[in-house]
């Protein structure tokens, strides 16, 4: 079967939104106050951010400021990302940070250590312990192995294998990841990391190879036994419909005890996002299993078919906020509270406004005596630390009350692990994502500089 969906290179990772004013009725009063006093609100929020940043180590604070300056400088960003991309795509031993000690000494402390958990079990444990001490509820750990970029036509020419070594390596890496997480933590899975023949099956909308099914069964059964969970990452649209289908099959099998052992990733920048949610809700309700959704905006806009993506950021924001609100309030069109399936929602994102809206809505529902869908929050390691720290402060405040507040947010950090070489493509994506949010980065760097001056006594 030939692949004709897209005429571009395949990289391994590599419905209209409802109006926000209708979705977030409970926030109208707050929004009107902010609009009347924007300067005061902004100044107050910056002071709050600054007070929350005491949790961040001075080393991480300095690295945040340095990288923030790089990402917000067009000149530094252009040449910095060009260098990272050159290293990521090179097959030369000289440009391999796992073989070139000098190159590794430059990349690891300045970039790798900021965004990645570590290269071995000892480094990863140190990172995870630091995050738990900071107050994070848990982590999402992802094995960073990626396949090289391949033209779509090349996938068509691959011959099937009875025993695929790539799947074995991928399985062992994910099992090793499970060894390093604790009960309540997540393991992130990228299907295309299992090799080009799995990518071929995804692109051709075929069923997964039996070897992959056996590997996923072993991973999910191991995760269930130790109290961890699994989420399946989103990838490019040439793969995504099949990824969703495979993931639904896994949820149908493993999400039957009232909890979501397996969650899929929903990208709100896709025009089809709301219709996808509706279809998932219908299946979960009809078949009586728990739907696990990790909601993100999307990370592949640079390589996707642009017609599939919302035309503006405002539309994407509206879609993200609307889906979050409808799932929390159990009011998605076509469903009422009586026939709404069990849903566990994980809001993964770096948009502070969306995170605050969702948390305010969730807390308000609890205060009214309602039972919203369970919610968790997460940001990538090295990104949006200001938002993470603000959420942690909310949880700390709730925990200090005489009657502990059940609305205290559960906050997670998501990170990749692997050798510096294995993580290079991931680092390029993180750099690109940071630069695309330059205005937010400038504000964050300013707040962190104030926090640094405070520590220095200035």
- The pLDDT score that the predictor gives to residue 55 is 84
Any domain includes 152: yes
- The pLDDT score that the predictor gives to residue 407 is 72
Q: What is the pTM of this model?
A: 0.83
Any domain includes 443: no
- The pLDDT score that the predictor gives to residue 442 is 78
- The pLDDT score that the predictor gives to residue 11 is 37
Any domain includes 75: no
Average pLDDT over residues 24-31: 37
Any domain includes 457: no
Any domain includes 224: yes
Number of domains within the chain: 1
More confident site: 442 or 402: 442
Any domain includes 349: yes
Q: What is the CATH number of the domain that holds 204?
A: 3.20.20.220
- The pLDDT score that the predictor gives to residue 3 is 44
Average pLDDT over residues 384-413: 77
Burial of 438 (0-12, 13-18, 19+ CB in 10 A): middle
Any domain includes 373: yes
pLDDT in tens, 254-267: 999 999 999 999 99
Q: Which of 2-6, 105-109, 446-450 has the highest mean pLDDT?
A: 105-109
Average confidence score pLDDT of the chain? 84
Average pLDDT over residues 81-108: 94
pLDDT over 70 at 37, yes or no:
no
Residue 13, Ramachandran bin (φ over 0: left; ψ between -120 and 50: alpha; else beta): beta
pLDDT in tens, 180-194: 999 999 999 999 999
Average pLDDT over residues 151-175: 78
Any domain includes 101: no
pLDDT over 90 at 54, yes or no:
no
- The pLDDT score that the predictor gives to residue 228 is 98
pLDDT band at residue 8 using 50, 70 and 90 as cut-offs: very low
Q: Provide the domain limits for residue 305.
A: 9-44+116-436
More confident site: 405 or 22: 405
pLDDT over 90 at 88, yes or no:
yes
pLDDT over 50 at 2, yes or no:
no
More confident site: 441 or 77: 77
């Amino acid at each position: 079967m030939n692949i004709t969906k897209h005429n571009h290179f395949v990289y391994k990772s590599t419905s209209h939104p409802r109006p926000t004013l209708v979705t977030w009725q409970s926030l109208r009063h707050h929004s009107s106050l902010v609009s009347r006093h924007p300067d005061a609100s902004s100044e107050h929020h910056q002071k709050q951010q600054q007070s929350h940043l005491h949790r961040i180590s001075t080393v991480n604070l300095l690295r945040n400021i340095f990288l923030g300056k790089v990402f917000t400088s067009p000149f530094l960003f252009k040449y910095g990302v060009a260098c990272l991309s050159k290293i990521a795509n090179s097959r030369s031993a000289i440009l391999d940070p796992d073989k070139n000690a000098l190159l590794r000494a430059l990349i690891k402390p300045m970039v790798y250590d900021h965004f990645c958990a570590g290269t071995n079990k000892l480094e990863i444990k140190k990172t995870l312990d630091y995050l738990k001490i900071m107050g994070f509820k848990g982590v999402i750990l992802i094995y960073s192995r990626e396949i090289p970029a391949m033209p779509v036509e090349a996938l068509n020419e691959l011959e099937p294998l009875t025993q695929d070594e790539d799947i074995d390596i991928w399985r062992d890496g994910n099992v090793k990841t499970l060894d390093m997480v604790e009960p309540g933590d997540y393991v992130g899975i990228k299907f295309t990391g299992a090799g080009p023949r799995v990518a071929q099956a995804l692109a051709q909308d075929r069923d997964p190879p039996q070897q992959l099914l056996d590997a996923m069964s072993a991973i999910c059964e191991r995760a269930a036994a130790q109290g961890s969970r699994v989420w399946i990452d989103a990838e490019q649209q040439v793969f995504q419909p099949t990824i969703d289908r495979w993931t639904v099959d896994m949820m149908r099998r493993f999400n039957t005890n009232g909890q979501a052992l397996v969650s899929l990733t929903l990208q709100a920048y896709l025009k089809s996002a709301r219709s996808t949610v509706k279809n998932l809700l219908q299946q979960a309700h009809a078949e009586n299993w728990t739907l696990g959704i990790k909601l993100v905006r999307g990370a592949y806009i640079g390589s996707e078919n642009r017609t599939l993506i919302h035309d503006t950021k405002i539309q994407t924001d509206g879609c993200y906020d609307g889906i979050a609100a409808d799932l929390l309030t159990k009011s998605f069109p076509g469903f009422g509270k009586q026939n709404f399936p069990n849903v566990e929602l994980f809001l993964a994102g770096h948009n502070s406004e969306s995170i605050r809206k969702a948390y305010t809505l969730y807390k308000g529902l609890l205060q009214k005596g309602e039972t919203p869908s369970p919610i968790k929050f997460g940001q990538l390691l090295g990104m949006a630390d200001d938002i993470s720290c603000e959420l942690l402060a909310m949880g700390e405040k709730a925990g200090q009350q005489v009657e502990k507040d059940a609305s205290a947010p559960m906050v997670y950090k998501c990170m990749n692990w692997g050798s510096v070489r294995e993580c290079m493509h991931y680092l390029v994506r993180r750099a690109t994502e940071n630069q695309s949010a330059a205005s937010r980065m400038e504000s964050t760097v300013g707040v962190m500089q104030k926090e640094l001056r405070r520590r220095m006594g200035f």
